[in-house]
Structure 1
């Protein structure tokens, strides 16, 4: 019998800010794949199980192309024509277009190259911990620590001047945060594109030692470079910023795990992987079937939109022991927080370096770190946001 998900949840359970919406957890308990009627009447699917999610992410019969994404699980946009992704915005493309843009970047985000950045990440982290200590003992961890570190690092990598990073933080927040109206969101997107176009022109006149300048030696056009830079800036900033803040919140709410990490800093790598799994801030992706596909005992018809719930896939008890428990000692790898297949996150090693440096350093500098407000008063991003997280995280410590 086919399980049906009656509606897509738009909020999480009160008191459970780290868990996926209960309706999705319940759906996964019934079946790893559920039939779903979109608000516009489209007949599609929601996949909540780990194995099926992983299969679809690696299956070229399921497309990421923007022009096919006509149906949204919570909004009826009517009969609209969706244009293809702009040049360079490769996350919303299939092969071979996707590979044409991704391939020149692969060598610039290797494990080795990202590890060489560790010293710089440590320096930026220490500078912001010093500023927190001077400003404290009560600060908003999001603005004082979680956002500036990845913003500075990704801007330096791409060659964005230091003084312009605030511009990016503000505008990327607007078009990824799920907080502003369509008009303001679009204005922020256009402002960022315009800035990047001017930056590329400046780089062509005066190249510097950065990823964007390196790409000028390829056959990529300025329009393509602009789209690629937009993807790298937004992905390299927003996801990591939310992981730092939400990860800190999760550790503070799990004092036994926090104590274990403080007692044994060598657990940092495992703890980061576990937080990535447990929180899964990039909580869902969409795919469209290009042909009829037999999957999980069901026929996914060509043209069907499939919602992949990565947050529930990473909480699948068929894959992870006691999946709803945060366990910094966990050694079960293979989470899908960075996706899977050809679209697996290009900057995942950079994110790992930033998290492995920032979280232990924060906890080491402030041994008495704690929330400055009750946990239920922490402002969370809406479920509608592309990336889940906290809007602000007031913390304090003993001076």
Structure 2
């Protein structure tokens, strides 16, 4: 009987439901991201051994990293399964990890963001903005806040979904729709934002490591993707609102649960602390402007991560001191310690990712793959627009 009910349930599901179930099962079946990088590192070692034995190579016109001049170049596969390759694996492991660009930038940035998050500043800002939103703009504002919350790492996941559920319920709407809207904004918009956050130095560092395969001097700044991020913020907010209001919420039906709402407004203490954080932000901007004009454009390039630290740390300190979450330096150090503890999984992931990228660059497989791929696309005669749509 149960088997028959499940069969009928599957028949009644729409194509979208079935497709999403397949995606979910596939995602759950994947190993941990760190394990994936470890597997990829082993795959690179094996493929480099095969490529070295078969003499894989490519010739192309490129820039010589030593002379910085364009010349005809021949790149051959360097095997990691030779005596020299095995020696590289063992002697470069620590350097690959400590020299991996995203490691330092993210850990430094999290110092300032950790203070802003754990002092309560980020939660108070999210609550203040959400509660001040008109009824017609509730969905778009919840999703927008979810997108913006990624500047404070995982704060959006903790604070916004339950708050969004209460806000929706207060307007007579289904609280699950509020949860869905918040989660869509936080997860679906995690790489979009109007500001530079922790994800941007991470992606810039990874791109820099990849670019060094072709040009060791090339550097991808955290601001490289900024214009696309800003445009994506509004696109995701609009599409998320459309899907949530037209598809998700109607499917949930009318909410018939408990109507009691434990809904806390922004307290007087929180408002006072937010004003203190705002004043600290103004003072910080006043001090940064002359420094910018004194140091030039490079100040917003290489110096961006320290700016992120200051931008979040000072308002966070002001808020925490005013609200009482920060009484002395021990409280601040405690917040930083907890923030760094939350980065343990990231550090493990970075270790294996760093080895994979280093091996990929050492073996020249990246260059060979890029040249062969470019030759294939040129031979296939695929235009620029189809390539953009396809990829």
Q: Same fold (TM over 0.5)?
A: no
Which structure's residues are more often helix, by fraction?
Answer: 2
TM-score (norm 2): 0.25
More strand per residue: 1 or 2?
1
Structure exhibiting the larger radius of gyration computed from Cα positions: 2
Structure 1 length as normaliser, TM-score?
A: 0.25
